[in-house]
Amino acid sequence: MSDPIVVAEGLRKSFGDTHALRGLDLSVPRGTVCGLLGPNGAGKTTAVRILATLSAPDAGHARIAGHDVVREAAQVRERIGLAGQYAAVDEKLTGRGNLRMFGRLYHLPRRQAHRRADELLERFGLTEAADRPVGGYSGGMRRRLDLITCLILRPEVLFLDEPTTGLDPRSRGEIWDSVRELVADGTTVLLTTQYLDEADRLADDVAVIDHGKVIATGTPDELKATIGDRLDVVLEDPATRPAAAAVLNALAGAGPATAGADRLSVALPATGLRLADIVRDLDRAGVAVADVSLRRPTLDEVFLRLTDRKEPVR
Amino acid sequence: MTAIPVPLDRLRWTLTDGLTLAGRELSRLRQEPGQIVAALLFPVVMVVLFGYVFGSAIQVPGGGDYRAYLMPGLFAMVTFTAVQGVMGRMAADASRGVMDRFRSMPMARSAVPFGHSGADSLIGVPLLGVMVVTGLLVGWRPQQGLLPAAEAFALIVLLRYALGWVGVYLGLAVKDEQVAEAMVPLGLPFTMLSNAFVPTDGMPAWLRFVAEWNPVSALTAAIRRLSGSPGALPGDAAWPLAHPVAAVLLWSAALLVIFVPLSLRAYARKGR
Ligand SMILES: Nc1ncnc2c1ncn2[C@@H]1O[C@H](COP(=O)(O)OP(=O)(O)OP(=O)(O)O)[C@@H](O)[C@H]1O
Ligand SMILES: [Mg+2]
């Protein structure tokens, strides 16, 4: 099955004068994790809400497993789970009460709804807190409950809008493990996030969106390759900085990014440059280096480059 | 492929989902026993305040015990609190993420509004029971026998259900728990602008007109008539007071016809 399970074509959505989406295209293959990245206000939540049938696009269309999100919303809802940016569980009910209620609303028979609630609580380590009202849960527990509420029916497509925002590293790791398990079971996940390491670890493909449009797509590695490797140089003597900058400039063809008084960081062109040549040239220019390293860029650097606000947009 | 749900199936799921959500409201109440105590205490406080404090200075037209005159008015007053209660709960839901989950699930679209109005009826019946017991304790008696009393009871439940839908609509319209809460104090003057506490004859003409057409008055008059409570009507009473049972039925029907479709539409369009 190579058919994409989530397809969006030319989605547009405005709120008054704010153009949240301006022709968003997206395609997610079945059984993969797609990371939707973008700065605040890029339109991620708006896109997810449209795909999850919560809001209708002004123009364009989207299909989940072949069903249109507007005209066949009922069929779409049978196939999706949504964990929104804000936890969507009932604070006054207990964790178990929430899962049982949502199980019933998914039209499971009472006994089955109860059994499924117990199963999920057990599997995701919430059994101990199960009979306390959710209002008293920690942020991490609440998000975990929110996530497992989506899993009652084992959805084909799961939308996660910033699933780990505000969580400590341990809770984030737990959510990541859960997502990986789901994907292993065949679920397709569309995930938005502010944390690029999250996309790096979880996503098969990444779509970077800015101002309501996809501006780049690819695997995390492909995206990193587009901006070339990074060269980090630490100088023994900060006074040699201008000389070092000139050398790097000549090699890389672009002005080095400042990384500190005694260090320089520069993006190298995708064409291969050998570390040995760089060190030799620096040496000839009389620059003593304490450390030099060549590395792949982080997704953060890719992201900052792609969404650079200085570039004119429209 | 899933079959297109036939209308009967749809109706069944609307009812089942509505019941599940009504059960949710009851579980929520169980977590907040303070709310139940306050709801039960309110009518008792009103009986003491009006029956014994103000009542000592009020003359019942045509004679009779003021507290027996007052109780039908308090039944009506408590019935109308349905609007505030449902509005608050609906607005709280509308302002929270849990509504998004409901709307992204394959449940009946109308289940949430039906759940809220239905839950209120389940809350309303025991509340009415407490009121009746309080009434009996302070000397009110259904004088006409059991059948008319049951009829009065049914009218109260019917109008309360219709008022619940007004609450659903208002809750969806304000969308904000705080705004809904701020509107609660408006309920008291609305119910007092009626024949519930004092006869309307003594009011200035324009106020009397408003009070006589207030649905609170129709319900109060209907309960008085069906329970044989004191409170003779003035000879020139307005139509709703002269035909109170018909007036309550008409009010209920009108509210349902207007507010059920309005609420369902407001719910379906939320977030569009
Ligand atoms: N209901 C709404 N009414 C008015 N404007 C809205 C509404 N929802 C979103 N917007 C606007 O649309 C734009 C995109 O918002 P959206 O929430 O999709 O961004 P986002 O990428 O999810 O941002 P964040 O990372 O902060 O969550 C923003 O400018 C936002 O202010
Ligand atoms: Mg967002």
Better-scored residue on pLDDT, A199 or B158: B158
Is there a contact between A52 and B104 if contact means CB atoms under 8 Å apart?
yes
User: Nearest residue of B to residue A76 by CA position?
Assistant: B106
Domain definitions of chain A by residue range:
4-221, 229-295
- The CATH code that applies to domain A229-295 is 3.30.70.100
User: Residues within 5 Å of ion ligand 2 by Cβ?
Assistant: A 44-45, 85
Is there a contact between B104 and A80 if contact means CB atoms under 8 Å apart?
yes
pLDDT for position A225 = 78
pLDDT for position A259 = 67
Residue B8 domain flag: no
Is there a contact between B31 and A133 if contact means CB atoms under 8 Å apart?
yes
| A81, A153 contact by CB (below 8 A) | yes
Cα B53-B58-B60 angle, rounded to 5 deg: 130
User: Nearest residue of B to residue A131 by CA position?
Assistant: B31
**Chain B residues near residue A93 by CB distance under 8 angstroms:** 24, 27-28, 31
pLDDT for position A272 = 64
Residue B58 domain flag: no
> Rg of the Cα trace of chain B?
20
Residue B79 domain flag: yes
pLDDT band of A313, cuts 50, 70, 90: very low
pLDDT for position B167 = 95
pLDDT for position B1 = 43
pLDDT-wise least confident of A154-163, A220-229, B13-22, B237-246: A220-229
Distance between CA atoms of residues B233 and B216, nearest Å: 15
Residue B155 domain flag: yes
- Number of domains forming the structure of chain B: 1
pLDDT band of A311, cuts 50, 70, 90: very low
pLDDT for position B159 = 96
Residue B151 domain flag: yes
**Chain A residues near residue B114 by CB distance under 8 angstroms:** none
For helices B215-227 and B66-94, angle between their N-to-C axes, nearest 10 degrees = 140
What would the mean pLDDT of A129-146 be, rounded to a whole number?
89
Structure token pair of residue B64? 């009779």
pLDDT-wise least confident of A158-172, A260-274, B187-201: A260-274
Give the model confidence (pLDDT) of A14-39 as tens digits: 999 999 999 999 999 999 999 999 88
**Chain B residues near residue A87 by CB distance under 8 angstroms:** 97
Please identify, in words, the CATH class of the domain defined by A4-221: alpha beta
Give the model confidence (pLDDT) of B205-215 as tens digits: 999 999 999 99
Q: Give chain A's mean pLDDT.
A: 86
Is there a contact between B101 and A106 if contact means CB atoms under 8 Å apart?
no
> Could you list the residue range(s) of the whole structural domain that residue B194 is in?
37-43+64-269
What would the mean pLDDT of A114-140 be, rounded to a whole number?
90
Tell me what ipTM this predicted complex has: 0.79
Is there a contact between B24 and A78 if contact means CB atoms under 8 Å apart?
no
**Chain B residues near residue A88 by CB distance under 8 angstroms:** 96-101
Residue B229 domain flag: yes
B:88-107 residues touching chain A, CB 8 A cutoff: 96-107
Give the model confidence (pLDDT) of B135-192 as tens digits: 999 888 888 888 999 999 999 999 999 999 999 999 999 988 888 888 888 888 888 8
pLDDT band of A312, cuts 50, 70, 90: very low
- Measured by CA distance, the residue closest to atom 18 of ligand 1 is A43
Q: Which residues of chain B have pLDDT under 70?
A: 1-6, 232, 234-235, 270-272
Note the helical H segments in chain B: 7-31, 33-46, 66-94, 98-104, 111-137, 146-174, 177-183, 187-192, 205-213, 215-227, 239-242, 244-269
pLDDT for position A257 = 62
CA of B272 from ligand 2 middle (Å) equals 17
CA of A19 from ligand 2 middle (Å) equals 15
